[in-house]
């Protein structure tokens, strides 16, 4: 779910940056917008690579440890939330409006940090795995 949120936020932001104009320019021409988009792409690649790595390991019959699974959930949920919050910011006031969809994605991303074990619980699992 985190990867889907990141992908959709990134897609919406790129499209918005290409079409939204401010002071006679597309906002995608501004360096801060470019930085936001680049960080979103980095998060997308990182989470996608983690998903692919786990799928390959599962295919080989290797289950992740609780600490590894917790680390992936923690990183992915934080990345999705960060990307979604940046998407709301990039959209400005429109980011809070339902017709632009990023507000729903931001709420969904935040829920990832709570459901199926809060991020604080994930940290505990990671630490216990490291100290075992």
pLDDT tens column, 71-124: 999 999 999 999 999 999 999 988 988 888 999 999 999 999 998 788 888 899
List the domain range (segments joined by +) for residue 20.
Answer: 2-131
What are the angstrom distances between the C-alpha of 29 and each of 9, 23, 58, 93, 106?
Answer: 19, 11, 42, 19, 24
Stated pTM of the model = 0.91
What pLDDT score was predicted for residue 75? Answer: 96
CATH code where residue 51 lies: 1.20.140.10
What pLDDT score was predicted for residue 119? Answer: 80
Number of domains in the chain: 1
The DSSP output letter for 59 is H
pLDDT tens column, 7-57: 999 999 999 999 998 999 999 999 999 999 999 999 999 999 999 999 999
């Amino acid at each position: 779910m985190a990867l889907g949120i990141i992908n959709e936020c990134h897609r919406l932001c790129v499209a918005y940056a290409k079409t939204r104009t401010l002071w006679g320019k597309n906002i995608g021409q501004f360096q801060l917008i470019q930085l936001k988009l680049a960080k979103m792409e980095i998060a997308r690649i990182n989470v996608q690579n983690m998903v692919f790595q786990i799928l390959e390991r599962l295919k080989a019959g290797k289950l992740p440890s609780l600490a590894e699974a917790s680390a992936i959930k923690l990183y992915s949920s934080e990345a999705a939330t960060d990307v979604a919050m940046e998407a709301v910011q990039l959209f400005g006031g429109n980011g809070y409006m339902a017709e632009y969809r990023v507000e729903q994605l931001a709420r969904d991303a935040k829920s990832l940090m709570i459901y199926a074990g809060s991020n604080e619980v994930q940290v505990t699992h990671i630490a216990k795995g490291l100290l075992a």
